[in-house]
Amino acid sequence: MIDDDKKAAAEAAVDEVQGGMLVGLGTGSTAAFAIARLAERVRQGLRIEAVATSEASARLARTGGITVREFAGVARVDLTIDGADEIDPWLFAIKGAGGAMLREKVVAAAAARMIVIADGSKRVAAIGAAKLPVEVLPFAQAFVTRELAALGAEAVLRQAGDAPYRTDQGNVVIDLRFAVFPEPLALAAQLDSIPGVLGHGLFLDQVDAAYVAEHGIVSRLERRQPPG
Pick the closer one to ligand 5RP by CB: 29 or 190: 29
Q: Which of 5, 11, 78, 85 binds ligand 5RP (CB under 6 A)?
A: 85
- Range 185-201 burial, b when 16+ CB lie within 10 A, else e: eebbeebeebebbbbbb
Number of residues this chain uses to bind ligand 5RP (CB under 6 A): 18
Q: Give residue 67's identity as a one-letter amino acid code.
A: T
* Candidates 44-52, 71-79, 90-98, 188-196; binding stretch for ligand 5RP (CB under 6 A): 90-98
Residue 110 binds ligand 5RP, judged by CB under 6 A: no
Residue 84 binds ligand 5RP, judged by CB under 6 A: yes
Residue 98 binds ligand 5RP, judged by CB under 6 A: yes
Closest among 14, 147, 139 to 81, alpha carbons compared: 14
Residue 2 binds ligand 5RP, judged by CB under 6 A: no
Residue 214 is a catalytic residue: no
Residue 3, φ and ψ in degrees, nearest 5: -65, -40
Q: How far is residue 58's CA from residue 41's CA, in Å, rounded to a whole number?
A: 17
Q: Catalytic: which of 104, 147, 183, 214?
A: 104
Q: Which of 8, 11, 83, 86 binds ligand 5RP (CB under 6 A)?
A: 83
Beta partners for residue 176, in sequence order:
132, 155
Residue 96 binds ligand 5RP, judged by CB under 6 A: yes
- What distance lies between CA 167 and its chain's CA centroid? 14
* Candidates 23-31, 70-78, 173-181, 191-199; binding stretch for ligand 5RP (CB under 6 A): 23-31
Strand ranges, E, within 70-196: 77-82, 86-87, 93-94, 111-119, 132-136, 153-157, 159-160, 163-164, 172-178
Q: Footprint of ligand 5RP on this chain (CB under 6 A)?
A: 26-31, 82-85, 95-101, 104
Q: Indicate which residues carry an active-site annotation.
A: 104
